[in-house]
Amino acid sequence: MALKWWLSASALLSSMTILLVLGFLLQSSWPLIQQQGATFIVGTEWYPFESLYGMLPAFIGTVWSVTLALLIALPCGVAAAILCAELLPPRLRSTVRFAMELMAGVPSVVYGLLGMWLLLPLLESQLNLLTGRTLLAAGLLLALMILPTIMVLSEDAIRAVRQSQRETAKNLGIGWDATLWRVLLPQAWPGIRVATLLATGRAMGETVAVMLVVGSIDRIPEPFYNFLQPAQTLTSRIGREMAEASVGSLHWAALLFCGLMLATMAVAISLLTHRKVAAV
């Protein structure tokens, strides 16, 4: 009986965690919603001292930095996975793979340090910028962080394609190029898709590294595609301002609402991932 009690209680409690997290975030950001309606979500101005809590600049910053990271990391990561799975000799392959697994575990704050003291000076001198703290810096750093994840998971997906498929393709004489595009990648696509979604989630929720390089200025880039300007992401805003906001104030509620937005986006991504996995 004690056993059953322990098992049921822990299952109940740990599956409730996510509901508790979402519930507490909603409850604590409620004062803001109550006072300002839902309009602040699409507001473009964030001035806590004037009670303006527009979410749009940080939201756009988050979307931009994640997009930039994916644009860089996805082609490179998948290419590295193809190289590893198809072209390298087995011994070299396992070494490279192990190194990549270790890279995937490097703490984000170390990337932050790298971003601040290696990437920013490089960007400033190479692109002749006033400050290296830009959306581009955040995107590059995030790309470096998610690359190992994309590579490792995509390699799993490519290697899971059965050997007989490769042999059949070879016997048909369709060449390496066509085998890659017509056989390997289409079959590995569900796995690569999941890798991409997981990497997106990680990039979106990354805090300390982004916070050190993004510049933390609450405005929408002008024009909107200018990624050489300082910006703000949802996570960097929370990281910068949480310590300053007084408990229970509107500012506090607004920052918790940023957290709620992040959590909602994460849940949406994981639903997308999960459904596709089940369908395959």
Partner 1 sequence: MNSQHLLARDTISKGIVWLLAVPALLIPTIVLCYIFWQAAPVLDWGFIVGTTDGAGFGVSDGIFAQLLGSLLLAVMACAIAAPFALGTALYYRTYASPRQQRLLTAMFNMLQGIPPIVFGLCGLVVLVNLFAWGVSLISGAVVLAMVVLPLLVLNTLATLERIPHGYTEAGMALGLGNGAIIGRLWLPRSWLNLLTGVLLAMARALSETAPIMFTATVFSGVVWPDSLFSPVTTLQTHIFYLAQESNDPQVISIAWGSAAVLVLLVASLGVLARLLYKLGED
Residues 199-228 contacting partner 1, CB under 8 A: 201, 204-208, 212
Residue 259 found at the interface with partner 1 (CB under 8 A): yes
Residue 256 interacts with partner 1 (CB under 8 A): yes or no: yes
Whether residue 81 contacts residue 185, with contact meaning beta carbons closer than 8 Å, is answered with no
Site for partner 1 in 32-51 (CB under 8 A): none
| Residue numbers 117-156 binding partner 1 by CB under 8 A | 117-118, 144, 147-148, 151
146, 73 contact by CB (below 8 A): yes
Confirm or reject binding of residue 230 to partner 1 (CB under 8 A).
no
Does position 94 interact with partner 1 (CB under 8 A)? The reply is no
Residue selected from 80, 138, 152, 188 as contacting partner 1 according to rule CB under 8 A: 80
CA 105 to chain centre: 15
61 near partner 1 (CB under 8 A) = no
Residue 280: both structure tokens together: 């395959």
* Residue 65 vs 273, nearer CB to partner 1: 273
All residues at 6 or more sequence positions from 190 whose CB lies less than 8 Å from its CB, including other chains: 157, 276, 277, 280
Q: Does 180 bind partner 1 (CB under 8 A)?
A: yes
Question: Does 11 engage in binding with partner 1 (CB under 8 A)?
Answer: yes
Q: What is the β-pairing status of strands 46-47 and 52-53?
A: antiparallel
By CB under 8 A, residue 186 contacts partner 1: no
- For residue 167, the one-letter residue type is E
- Between the two ends of the chain, the Cα-to-Cα distance in Å is 39
105 binds partner 1 (CB under 8 A): yes
How crowded is residue 63: how many other Cβ atoms within 10 Å of its Cβ?
A: 14
Q: Which is nearer to partner 1, 226 or 242 (CB)?
A: 242
Using the rule CB under 8 A, is 69 a contact of partner 1? Answer: no
**Taking contact as CB under 8 A, which single stretch among the options 15-23, 121-129, 159-167, 217-225 is the one that binds partner 1?**
15-23
Radius of gyration of the chain (CA): 22
Helices (H), 173-205: 175-178, 185-205
Question: What are the E-state strand segments in 92-219?
Answer: none
Token pair listed for 19: 């509901």
Binding of partner 1 by 269 (CB under 8 A): yes
63 near partner 1, rule: CB under 8 A: no
Q: Is 100 in the site for partner 1 (CB under 8 A)?
A: yes
